[in-house]
Amino acid sequence: MEADFVIVGAGSAGCVLADRLSGTGASVLVIEHGGTDAGPFIQMPGALSYPMNMARYDWGFRTEPEPHLGGRRLACPRGKVIGGSSSINGMVYVRGHARDFDHWAEAGATGWAYADVLPYFRRMEHWHAGGQGGDPAWRGSTGPLHVTRGPRRNPLFHAFVEAGRQAGYELTPDYNGAKQEGFGPMDRTIWRGRRWSAATAYLKPALRRSNCGLVRALARRVVIEAGRATGVEVDRGGRVEVIGARREVILAASTINSPKLLMLSGIGPGAHLADHGIKVIADRPGVGQNLQDHLELYIQMAASQPVTLYRYWNLFGKALVGAQWLVTRQGPGASNQFESAAFIRSRAGVDYPDIQYHFLPIAVRYDGQAAAEGHGFQAHVGPMRSPSRGAVTLGGADPATPPAIRFNYMSTPQDWQDFRTCIRLTREIFAQEAFRPFVRHEIQPGPQVQTDDEIDDFVREHVESAYHPCGTCRMGAASDPLAVVDPETRVIGVEGLRVADSSIFPRIPNGNLNAPSIMVGEKASDHILGRPPLPRDEAVPWSHPDWQTRQR
């Protein structure tokens, strides 16, 4: 079995690559360990808490004990299904801020500044404003990825945005347009009431071509002969075989599995590979390093009116929502319920937003456990640019052994200061007049949590991953000893091998990572095909005129 291109991972970027490469007539094989995305748990947006907690769809990774979080081991879900994490995520669509990508270019990822990537965001999008305003000139209208907004029928969605305005913050009609900073509607990858994953947008159309195939197997390592990648060794149905690549092997296996595969293939920190008895082919100390994530807290309020989703949080209510969705693709099941959002700056002197909010009209955890208080609502809040860095390392030389994942969360004083700020700013927003008709009292952290030490204790016990891992195969200049891939996504030191997924991000961008991961697939496909990049777009994004002296 062989093809021109062999892609490992049918996730957000891998699906894009399968479509764009096979669309030129080249033969493509995609290796994916997971199975089908059929079924309501994935396709119904309102069921989003289920797939990321199901072993059928999730790799089930957990971190090593995190030393700054009291030794807690945090969940690190990654999609094990076609569509990858775009099939199990919260469907929130955030490009990232322009300055994020400018930083990439400044860090050595030449050609990845915002002016370079904006045309690719446009190419991938089919944006539907839904009459809620926005920035059409900044958005795409013909791409395969449908991006929509929720109906925002619940009054709490409007109360959140109005409270932000009352607190003195900016409003934004489109945080994916010229102006990220402010409160406004949230974009999501939902179309006609169902999840619009990378598998639906890209992979399924590609698989209708005779030159694109999907192989269900566990990738064990990249086969490298005389310094060139020639195929991928896989375990398929209990048999080890090699799938040959005539032109290139492309890893798009996630921030966790892409560095693991490189190391199993002899590409990584030489001493670490030697410890596991792996022959070193390319000593790249940056492989597995630079691991980043977003952490978040749920600031929960008890509601004084029964306007929240809690009324469906019983067997009958869930059955009703499910039945309505199955028959009509409408109702609460047709939304991820993230319909209002905000990006703000934590303090004066910060030039672009460094705090993100997801607002949710129910008090519930990601594992689907509702707050005991009953009716309530919450804001997910967290800093965007933590200076903490972790690593993915091998748990053993056996490909079936999970890697060791250490984020090293909350390892700097800035992390703690940022979360204290997040909690205090959120409390101020919930104290605005717009929420007065809806707030009964604070559930968590709770009014007894006020001092820095009390807040730190709450953070240590309750902070959770926002599930945005990235950075472990960092893109940079070919001369950078810690870079893993060059700005054309080629693995430095090996021919015919690339990495194209969230692992190549030099630094984590603002917001959720599905959109930039898909963008990486789009841009990498042009590099792989030897095409000139899309022309730069020098549009100038909005920046707060008084950012140096004002927080809002």
CB 362 within 8 A of CB 313: yes
| Pairwise CA distance, residues 417 & 419, whole Å | 6
**First CA to last CA distance, the chain:** 58
> Is 81 marked within a binding site?
yes
- How far CA 219 is from CA of 28, 155, 216, 282, 322, in Å, comes to 16, 48, 9, 19, 36
CB 32 within 8 A of CB 257: no
Sign of CA dihedral 159, 161, 162, 164: positive
| Pairwise CA distance, residues 65 & 347, whole Å | 32
> Is 89 marked within a binding site?
yes
Sign of CA dihedral 57, 60, 66, 69: positive
Structure tokens at 279: 């022959």
43 by Cβ neighbours in 10 Å (0-12 / 13-18 / 19+) ranks as buried
| Bridge partners (DSSP) listed for residue 198 | none
Which sequence positions are flagged as catalytic? 468
DSSP state letters, 222-281: EEEETTEEEEEEEEETTEEEEEEEEEEEEE-SHHHHHHHHHHHTTEE-HHHHHHTTPPPS
> Is 16 marked within a binding site?
no
> Is 28 marked within a binding site?
no
Structure tokens at 294: 């977003």
Locate tokens 């698989």: which residue? 207
CA 33 to chain CA centroid, Å, is: 20
Of 78, 83, 60, nearest to 10 (Cα)? 83
- Which letter, b or e, does each residue of 425-458 get, where b requires 16 or more Cβ atoms within 10 Å of its Cβ? bbbebbebebbeebbeebbbbeeebeeeeebbeb
Of 286, 307, 331, 316, nearest to 474 (Cα)? 286
138 by Cβ neighbours in 10 Å (0-12 / 13-18 / 19+) ranks as buried
CB 186 within 8 A of CB 195: no
Structure tokens at 327: 């028959």
- Which letter, b or e, does each residue of 84-118 get, where b requires 16 or more Cβ atoms within 10 Å of its Cβ? bbbbbbbbbbbbbbbbbbbbbbebbbbbbbbbbbb
Q: How many CB atoms lie within 10 A of CB 279?
A: 9
One-letter amino acid for residue 303 of the chain: A
> Is 91 marked within a binding site?
yes
| Pairwise CA distance, residues 356 & 294, whole Å | 10
Residue numbering of the annotated binding site: 81, 89-92
Annotated binding site for FAD: 81, 89-92
